[in-house]
Amino acid sequence: MVAVGELLVSAVVKVAIDKLCSAMVKQASSVWNIRKNLEDMKNTLETLGAVLQDAEMRSIKEKEVRLWLKRLKAATYDISDMLDDFDASTEATGKMTGVFPVAIRKILQANKMKRMREKLWKIEAEHKSFSFMNIINPYVDQQPYDQRETSAYVNESDIIGRDAEKQVLMDLLRANHDKDGTMIVPIYGLGGTGKTTLAQLVYNDNQFKKYDKRVWVYVSQVFDLKKIGKSIISQLQMGGGQWNTDSLQMINTCLDDLFCGKKILIVLDDLWEDKASELEKLKCMLHVCKKGNTMIDAIVTTRKEDIAKKICTNEPYMLKPLNDGMCWEIIKRLSSFEHNVNKDRLEQIGFNIAKKCGGVPLAAQALGYMLRFKDLHEWTEINNSDIWNESSEDETVLPSLKLSYECMPPSLRMCFSYCATFPKGHEIVKDDLIHKWTALDFIDPSKGVEYIKQLLGMSFLQHSKLPVTRGAALLTRAARTFGDLGGSLFSGRAASRKGKEATAAMRNDSVRYTVASLYWTTKAAEVSYCSKALPGSIGKLGALTYLSLSGCSGISKLPDSIGDLKCLVDLNLSDCSGIVKLPESFGDLKKLLHLDMSCSGITELPGTFGNLTNLNRLELSQCFDLRALPESLCGLNTLQYLNLTFCSHLGRLPEAIGSLVNLQYMNMSRCRRIKELPGSFQNLKNLEHLDLLHCCCVKGLPGALHGLTALQHLDMSFLSSRYLNTDDLLCNGDISDALGSLTNLKNLSLSSSMNECFGYLIEQCDTYVDFIGTLTNLEQLNLSYNRMLKYLPETICNLKKLHTLDVSYCTELKSLPNSIDASTIKSLLVDGCSDQLMDQVNSRFSNYSLTLPLFKVSVDDVSGCSNLHQLEDVDASELTIRCLENVRFLETAQRVNNLPPLGQLPNLEILFLERLPWVRVIDRNFCGGKGAFSRLSVLSMEKMEGLEEWNTTYYAEDGVEEYMFPVLDDLQRLNRLQKLRLDCTLKQ
């Protein structure tokens, strides 16, 4: 593991080179010879950077190279620190009077640079002794045998789990059996999750052994289209005949002949190439889009979602991590658990260890071998220690992840390594993460979204299961293996660089602080506790770019010296409830891009706030005591994000709010005291997201909306007109016309608001909702809880992109328009609607999954069979099973006395069973087999008067007795279960 940190050197060097180039421009007219020193250092770093790929690869095995890289990294950090210090002193130099003080400062700077340059020259001289190679591709000219090369052969008896995944993949391929052509199904996911193994299982299945030919190609990191073609030809040709494969043209000609009239399975394992042009050539080679009597099924394995989407012909398949139980089964088998005399006492310890695998089979295998023949004491020690941070001669898991890391661009490595400092499962707001990368000089802001996508695509980050917060998407740090790779990347720097200057500046018994725990000494500071005032000496940290005081409720004010932090880019004052005012010097933070004051005690913003001319993001959510926004705020032309959620005492918006011409996101939800939108609001031509949830600003709303032509997301749910009289509403303009003009809308929510917005129109005409038909880009429409809504327009058929429609609890809505396109709707929420509408949905929409999580049980009039069997193939995290319909006779109802095997739904986490009076028994049939309900944490049952027996354990196929709900946390609403008796005994 020790070598992983040195893989970051190229990224650090690149950042330093960029800083040197920027500094050279600033020193173009300098007479102090500073530019010459800067240029020398830049040239030296560029020379060293050319050989770093070779050096980083050799550092994995050569200790001397590791030491050299450490020295280079330390020197590069020092150069970056020095440049930041010089940057911070520029403002101070500008304020000095007289030639002598300025000269002294310049001489000191030049001398420091000279020492730094000489230090770098020494490191450059040392590198010659290693004879590093200047290589473009680190995977060319390696040892001839690639240890990662795979083949199609696998011992299936050694594989645990993945049966369901194999079946899904085979079903995807089977969909191609009735037509000619090529289907490419990519499998993507984190390294070590078993993509190759899954491909091997499918390749060796009896179904595909009946194909005319099967081909397995290991692609590797070096993408060679000719080599791939030759490998396919060599496995297809009959009788050992020779083919001319000197050119790509000849290879494609050979493949045309060999593919003709055949049914072929091709597996391309370990694809890394991401250039669209090269992947298109590969697809062409595999006859994608060619017509004829050939059928080719192709499976591609890759780590990146982006590659999977480019190469697929339909939809890629993401291989998810194993559950903890499966990881434990792998460990048990490989650790000789069954032969351990202490196995009864080891069961829980072993399961806890299995949780450390993060669902990665390769990690479970490594742990299983590590635990083989170890005693109880050793198992306990491993369970209680952070084994992933220990070095191992046989680093089984790390290399598979390290390879993904090595292939990242240098700046992406920095971003990845920063994420690795968060604990496992840590929730991260996407936009906040991008801002911190920017503040730490890792990236240009324009690269943020792209890098997030890349880390998601490589499964190093995951989308959080928690709801969206503050209008921003949540991410979570992926499995523990993420930390294996990145955890040590900053650790050495943090331990050795607790800068003396910074420590002296912040020394105070009432303050707990972490300075430069992430990057250069004076770049970042996080204060975790402060019982009194923040020391005025914080102003000495002139090169600080990131400062977090989050949660420091003991701070009552910021010192005037806060304005001396001229380089500050990101300032976090969230949950600083004691801060009620900002000093006037706050306006001196001219470089500030991101300011978070959410949940603070702020009551007003200073007049100098308008001087923050680079401010991009302003977070003021839950500032309950904020009374007003200064007019100077409207001069922040660079502002793109403004969050005022729960600013409940804010009485109005500035009249010139429309001057924020670059504003893209605005959240005013629950700003109940704002009764009217200013006339200039309609000038926010670039606004894409507007949230007015639980607002009262109905007056002026139509006029304001008319100008928001770029708007894509609008939430007007639970809007209130309680401050307006009837005359105000009548002269308010036609809100229908205003909404109809927002033709770029993708998401519109009017939940429980239509009576407030259209109340006067509802009484006058029947066409007040016809505007919906003009919103042709709409993807999601929420009209729930509008109890006065009686119809939807037939023009809703114009909404070709609409995939989600929510009309829950629209009790007066009796039917949906006949013109609605059932083929495009993916989710139709109708809970609480009339029986007439429910009947129409059940008859018109054959896809029962549209209304999930709500599922209404019905019985066929002819056969008497229920539709519960349709849930057997559901892939949902939540289900609400409700009612029995069409039950006319007692004997018919009694046929529906069992539930389908919902236990085999792999992602089911929440299950509601309601109004099922004829279900009599819940037993092993409900589980469907081994490993049932592996993720179910919430279960609710009510109005099941006929339920007599519930066996909470069951016997699986192998005779082992298991708990029915092994991870259940919450058992809710056990109502009206008069006949129920429980059997909770687990037999040994």
Measure the CA–CA gap between 582 and 378, rounded to whole angstroms.
56
How does strand 474-477 pair with strand 427-429?
antiparallel
Tokens found for residue 812: 């007066």
- CATH code, domain carrying 166: 3.40.50.300
Q: Identify whether the C-beta of residue 232 lies closer than 8 Å to the C-beta of residue 256.
A: no
How does strand 461-463 pair with strand 263-271?
unpaired
* Residue 766 domain flag: no
Q: Identify whether the C-beta of residue 843 lies closer than 8 Å to the C-beta of residue 819.
A: no
> For 442, which DSSP code?
S
Boundary (domain end) residue, out of 459, 491, 523: 491
Q: H helices within 602-745, ranges in order?
A: 701-706, 726-730, 735-740
Measure the CA–CA gap between 621 and 666, rounded to whole angstroms.
11
Let me know whether 362 and 277 are in one domain.
no
Whole-number pLDDT of residue 542? 78
Q: H helices within 211-342, ranges in order?
A: 225-236, 248-259, 276-285, 305-311, 324-334
Let me know whether 874 and 975 are in one domain.
yes
Let me know whether 49 and 122 are in one domain.
yes
Measure the CA–CA gap between 761 and 734, rounded to whole angstroms.
9
- CATH code, domain carrying 402: 1.10.10.10
Whole-number pLDDT of residue 291? 64
**283 in helix, strand or coil?**
helix
* Residue 73 domain flag: yes
Whole-number pLDDT of residue 397? 46
Let me know whether 347 and 427 are in one domain.
no
Let me know whether 891 and 975 are in one domain.
yes
Compute CA distances 38 → 112, 116, 267, whole Å. 11, 10, 52
Whole-number pLDDT of residue 313? 87
Mind listing the pLDDT tens digit for each residue in 415-457?
Answer: 887 776 665 556 777 887 888 888 777 888 888 888 888 787 6
Let me know whether 897 and 920 are in one domain.
yes
- What does pLDDT average to in each consecutive run of 10 residues of the chain (988 residues)? 54 80 67 71 85 77 82 83 67 48 65 81 84 58 54 78 86 69 88 88 85 89 89 77 78 86 90 91 82 82 91 88 87 82 84 82 76 80 60 46 64 79 68 81 83 75 60 57 47 36 40 37 68 78 83 87 89 91 92 91 91 93 92 93 93 93 94 90 95 85 89 92 55 74 94 76 66 92 90 90 90 89 80 83 66 59 56 55 46 53 75 78 80 82 83 73 81 77 52
The three-state (H, E, C) secondary structure of 716-778, written as one string: CCCCCCCCCCHHHHHCCCCHHHHHHCCCCCCEEECCCCHHHHHHHHHCCCCCCCHHHHHCCCC
End-to-end CA distance of the chain: 43
Whole-number pLDDT of residue 581? 92
Strand positions, DSSP E, 249-398: 263-271, 295-302, 317-318
Whole-number pLDDT of residue 27? 62
Strand order of the β-sheet with 474-477 is 427-429, 474-477, 461-463
* Residue 657 domain flag: no
Q: Identify whether the C-beta of residue 497 lies closer than 8 Å to the C-beta of residue 488.
A: no
Going by C-alpha positions, the residue among 182, 215, 207, 183 that lies closest to residue 293 is 182
Q: What pTM was estimated for this model as a whole?
A: 0.63
Let me know whether 884 and 961 are in one domain.
yes
Task: State the sign of the Cα–Cα–Cα–Cα dihedral 925, 928, 931, 933.
Answer: negative
Measure the CA–CA gap between 233 and 229, rounded to whole angstroms.
6
Let me know whether 222 and 274 are in one domain.
yes
Boundary (domain end) residue, out of 441, 459, 491: 491
* Residue 610 domain flag: no
**641 in helix, strand or coil?**
strand
Whole-number pLDDT of residue 529? 64
- How many degrees, rounded to 5, is the angle at CA 432 between CA 640 and CA 588? 60
Which CB contacts under 8 angstroms, 24+ apart, belong to 616-621? 616/445, 616/640, 616/641, 617/431, 617/435, 617/593, 617/641, 618/642, 618/643, 619/470, 619/574, 619/594, 619/595, 619/643, 620/644, 620/647, 621/470, 621/645, 621/646, 621/647, 621/667
How many Cα neighbours within 13 Å face the side chain of 407?
Answer: 20
Q: State the angle between helix axes of 225-236 and 276-285 in degrees (0 to 180), rounded to the nearest 10.
A: 20
Whole-number pLDDT of residue 394? 44
* Residue 741 domain flag: no
Mind listing the pLDDT tens digit for each residue in 886-910?
Answer: 443 434 444 445 677 777 776 777 8
Let me know whether 276 and 354 are in one domain.
no
Going by C-alpha positions, the residue among 406, 408, 414 that lies closest to residue 80 is 414
Greatest CA separation found in the chain? 104
Range of the domain at 868: 852-983
Q: Identify whether the C-beta of residue 942 lies closer than 8 Å to the C-beta of residue 973.
A: yes
Name every residue whose Cβ is closer than 8 Å to that of residue 51 and which is 6 or more positions away in sequence: 127, 132, 133, 134
Name every residue whose Cβ is closer than 8 Å to that of residue 115 and which is 6 or more positions away in sequence: none
Could you tell me if residue 708 is left (phi over 0), alpha (psi between -120 and 50 degrees) or otherwise beta?
A: beta
* Residue 662 domain flag: no
Tokens found for residue 404: 């993904």
Name every residue whose Cβ is closer than 8 Å to that of residue 203 and which is 6 or more positions away in sequence: 152, 214, 216, 265, 267, 299
Let me know whether 176 and 312 are in one domain.
yes
What is the number of structural domains in the chain?
5
Let me know whether 313 and 196 are in one domain.
yes
Let me know whether 403 and 476 are in one domain.
yes
* Residue 903 domain flag: yes
Q: Identify whether the C-beta of residue 685 lies closer than 8 Å to the C-beta of residue 708.
A: yes
Measure the CA–CA gap between 855 and 848, rounded to whole angstroms.
8
Boundary (domain end) residue, out of 295, 318, 341: 318
Compute CA distances 131 → 65, 124, 142, 789, whole Å. 11, 12, 16, 78
* Residue 737 domain flag: no
